[in-house]
Amino acid sequence: MIRALRFACIAAALAIISTAASVAQEPMKLPPGMTPAIMKMMMTPGKPNPPGLPKGLVPVMGCIPSMGFHYAKAKDQPFGPFYGYYNGKPVFTEIMVSSAKFASGGSWDDQLKPLPGYTINHVDIWWEPHGHPGYLVPHYDIHAWYVPHAEHMTYCGNTSGKRPAFL
């Protein structure tokens, strides 16, 4: 839901830019590193109920470069857990934790755990200093990955192997 809102805002901004560009006869400008194909991929939701994920999840967004598809239960927003899916398999569990809650030193072991049959390969923590649409407070996006870092960094057409600048 959170990423869906973030990218919906990007899409709305791009629509405004596109409209203005067509009036002014100027080409549409995308955020650095984003192409029309990537935008389309990010805006096309994943399939409902993919195998291996818990029941009752809904697709939150399309294929996000370096992450894959996101799924969550509506009642679990905005904290999570979210689940990642790519190439027919679950690839991560994600939660979002406010900076205040993170600083309190609490534990999120009951939410940030692998799905049955998977183990955590590594954890990525992304700081969102201004928040983002859907969760506007400063917070951390915490991904517990079931796959190696080098693998997920190539998901959804991300050929750079680095986190895209537009995320």
pLDDT 10s digits, 58-85: 998 889 999 999 999 988 777 889 999 9
In sequence order, the 6+-apart residues with CB closer than 8 A to the CB of 106 are none
Distance from chain centroid for Cα 130: 16
What mean pLDDT do residues 49-58 have? 92
**Rounded Cα distance, 25 and 109, in Å:** 53
Least confidently predicted of 13-17, 43-47, 106-110, 130-134: 13-17
Per-residue 3-state assignment (H helix, E strand, C coil) for 30-46: CCCCCCHHHHHHHHCCC
Architecture field, domain 2-157: 2-Layer Sandwich (3.30)
**DSSP-assigned states of every residue in 21-88:** HHHHT----PPTT--HHHHHHHHSPPPSS-TTSPTT-EE-SS-BTTTBEEEE-GGGTTT--EEEEETT
Domain boundaries, the chain: 2-157
Q: What is the pTM of this model?
A: 0.78
Does the pLDDT value for residue 3 go beyond 70? Answer: no
Q: Is the pLDDT of residue 157 over 70?
A: yes
